[in-house]
Structure 1
């Protein structure tokens, strides 16, 4: 017996009988077997059961395999939240190929880079994005031919433009409905490729593995206590961290995917009423749109809809607004590199009895680790030692465990740096509270250093959101001859509001130390990404020309 073995290693082999690799692809197989006739997909007048969706996924896999697609090949898709996007999350990776869900808001040059960098061999395109995809294909530097597949959608009403050699339904029809559903032998195999929204240079390709995707999908169930047959509304783009792994989560619960081509307040409210939606996820801006929608749109909503918000901390006005709608709001936090949400602000007994201000303060925290994430800590970026849990000492949020990417595609240096010291470095600066909950103070690049003092842009933004006229707000550094940097506030007002720069400054003075008060205020619609995040890099460009005001 070797020094490292024990009696529990003797004659106890790991075999196919007692070990199987984790993969979220097993979830749809089970739902189709156990609940074949349960509703799986809703899209306009279209209804499909889990048995029907599973058959279509097998046909997609078979058709891809017949055209030589297999392990390690990349299949890109440029689709809105429609049934083919759901099918792509199963039919593509079961061949061993890797799903690359492209951001539908990107320019042709960036799409061309992603197709080349990811070495895509197939691309499936919705008609809404045919024009931008055709341009992207013309800009590719690679000479490798691409099979382009055109999707047809009855709910698309724009101009039709075929750029592929075959339609999606024709492609599926060529596949075998009896395709053998083989899960990967190695759960470390890549399942998806997602590109970060780079603000400078080319975006980085984040590679997910089957193990992480399966565990995060299950964690979603645990954090939300999602029951069987939940009705999930697709307000969150499935191209964003694979919809935070919810295509696989919904399959695990044999739930209902209520598809949504466009994220609009009326469409969301109508879908919730019509289909009995129980869960949805969205960026803060989407929740704000719902809260601030006309009262007539909100009539007849069912109580108890569970909403998940990630990104900026939900301000008190959003929490109050969601409660008025009868919705239950859960705050999560994560990054592309950790499969979307990887921490949750788990609510404790007694919080509901607190006043709205205190509830907003508690719920604004990023919280604690997801169930199946090994560890999340706030560490000193240099020493990797934990910061004291005093709610004041800042460090960097770092993750460890299965719900972390394999690494950055073709970028060994960035991968090594991001995993230095055995932790994934998020780049987000935060504090740890005595109860073990973390709270982001800023991105390292977003801290404003004014006269030697650190100013958290998030802290200033939290105050701005407390103003009743503010719909959206962002704060960035503005160069200042005397102080080095001062806060510059960009504010998007609610419809009909007549707030002035002086009103904003006076409001901030009530809640902030003088040096933290914005020295410039700019009104207007804020630039946002396709997932609703405010694009601070665009605002930094504008901050230099913003006029200073007397504070």
Structure 2
């Protein structure tokens, strides 16, 4: 390289570490008096939201929260949860959003593994958090989030979220992000093991994910976004960090029923939202007197499981333009998108829906995505038949697994992140998942580890062997089905097994059906799950 070019160095004038926190400052400056947050009767402008966030960040610092500390939040999609996505990293800390659907044992494990220093808890989940803290065996300070519009109880009865906001300095500038590789969030995913793994996001990735989402979704200025994707799922697919870019109005719906969502769409002219296929099905199958009543196009992202083509067809007929996207917790959420091609327009509606169910091509913020042969690493041909594994590379791939170097090394190989999902490629590079290499069941957008469920089944005194596989379900897409081999002389009923699981697992993880039979095994005693799947489809 010429010396003249090498002499040009980064300085404060031409280099600033990337962080999505800058989007908040811009929104407050460009759209100061425009609505930012709508939740029932509550309204707040971008200027007001910024002031609340900076005040909360200042109060967190006053409580001793510092650089790299983990702050856990257990809260549904309400304005306070959105504020935490900025206030926690503004204090220099790392946001850990907890899945509200998990059981106490898993939450206890997460709090301990994440080294949580503080928990902000919506009072509706206070009993769950109390049980988790009891299992953890140590106290963690808790701040109550009281949602007056939901009529929630007093929570832990100690520090209060609104009191922290009131006590903080709205002029607090925040802790400067000196290194864009600095962690911004910690999210947990079950994968194939019984215990979840901590996935670390950095500021650079979150910044680029937000910008890429705005570009890939073709977000207009001032969209009206309905917050449906749980913010404990990949930080709401990073949408909380993307919406300020375009000065969005964000509509929050605590209870995601079809009635509530359609009411919000009509009342606020919602233009965009993201949701798992189960939510789309809920909207499509709502009673006639509930759905409809709007004359504008509503754009939706859907991910979490391949959406049934029939659901996509129904949604389009109702006035929804649905784009199928794909990603993992390890990729900050969606990193591929199914972009409709012009030549699809002449196809029958059913065939168009089939095409739209593909995982598609990479978003602008993803450097590369491919389907490769697992043995050779060579790309598979674009024939729609040859199966390989989806691999990805780019700035929106996680930093790694928290405190798990072995798992990080296994995920990163030959310059790629290996997804564990088996897929094929069509002409033009369109990707479509054929099967999952991991034994993960995706039910209504929730990942369920079959190993975890099997571990519970094995604790039943009548169970000798157990295997859990995915069973098709019209409502949830997939649900767990347990195959159980009983001990000699023992007896149990389906209802007893399911009840046993319900005492030890979150409801969505429990088997919805139990089959009692001898399990197929290899010569070494390994259970042949492919045969069990075949039995379900027979």
Q: 1:66 to 1:491 in 2, by over 3 A?
A: closer
State the partner residue of 1:157.
151
Task: Quote the RMSD (CA, aligned, Å).
Answer: 2.8
State the alpha-carbon separation in 1 of the partners of residues 190 and 255 from structure 2: 21
Unpaired runs of at least 5, structure 1:
448-456, 462-473, 477-484, 495-524, 526-533
Distance in 2, Cα, partners of 1:440 & 1:183? 41
Q: CA deviation at 1:195?
A: 0.3
Aligned to 2:125: 129
What is aligned with 2:277?
284
Query: What's the counterpart of residue 369 of structure 1?
Result: 362
Report the equivalent of 1:234: 227
CA displacement, residues 255-302 of structure 1 (integer Å, 9 cap, x when unaligned): 011111111000000000011100011100110011001011113123
- 1:385-406 residue CA offsets vs partner (Å, 9 max, x unmatched): 1112111111100110101000
Tell me if 1:52 matches 2:24.
no
Are 1:399 and 1:426, in contact at CA under 8 Å, matched by a contact in 2? yes
Contact 2:269 2:296 in 1 (8 A): no
Asked whether the 8 Å contact 1:128–1:156 carries over to 2, the reply is no
Q: Is the counterpart of residue 542 in structure 1 residue 511 in structure 2?
A: no
Structure 1 residues 106 and 254, CA gap change in structure 2 (3 angstroms): same
Provide the residue aligned with 2:101 in structure 1: 105
Q: Identify the residue that residue 197 of structure 1 maps to in structure 2.
A: 190
Contact 2:71 2:116 in 1 (8 A): yes
Residue segments in structure 2 that go unaligned for 5+ positions in a row: 451-466, 477-497, 499-506, 518-531
- 1:458-499 per-position Cα deviation (integer Å, ceiling 9, x unaligned): 9xx9xxxxxxxxxxxx9x9xxxxxxxx9x98544479xxxxx
How far the C-alpha of 1:182 sits from its partner, in A, is 4.5
TM-score (norm 2): 0.83
Cα displacement (A) at 1:68: 1.6
Question: Are 1:414 and 2:410 counterparts?
Answer: no
Deviations 1:368-401 (A, max 9, x none): 0011100001011232111121111111001101
Deviation (angstroms), 1:361: 2.3
Structure 2 matches for 1:447-486, cutoff 5 A? none
Number of equivalent positions = 474
Would the aligned equivalents of 2:310 and 2:350 in 1 still touch at CA under 8 Å?
Answer: no
- Report whether the alignment pairs 1:85 with 2:81: yes
Out of 31, 34, 39, the residue aligned to residue 35 of structure 1 is: 31
In structure 2, how many angstroms separate the alpha carbons of the residues matched to 1:117 and 1:262?
A: 30
Question: What SS does the aligned partner of 1:435 have?
Answer: coil
1:73 aligns with 2:69: yes
TM alignment of 1:71-470, pairs within 5 A: 71-141=67-137, 143=138, 145-158=139-152, 160-163=153-156, 165-198=158-191, 200-445=193-438
Q: Which runs of 4+ in 1 moved over 6 A?
A: 546-551
Native 8 Å contact 2:146 2:155 kept in 1: no
Tell me what 1:501 maps to. Answer: none
Tell me how far apart the structure 2 counterparts of residues 386 and 338 of structure 1 sit (CA, whole Å).
21
- Give SS of 1:170's match: helix
**Counterpart contact for 2:55–2:170, Cα < 8 Å:** yes
2-structure distance, mates of 1:89, 1:232: 17
Shift of 1:157: 2.6
The answer on whether the counterparts of 2:191 and 2:438 sit within 8 Å (CA) in structure 1 is no
Paired residues of 1:147 and 1:165 also in contact (CA < 8 A)? no
Q: Does the aligned pair in 2 maintain the 1:196–1:204 contact within 8 Å? A: yes
Distance 1:15 1:337, change over 3 A: same
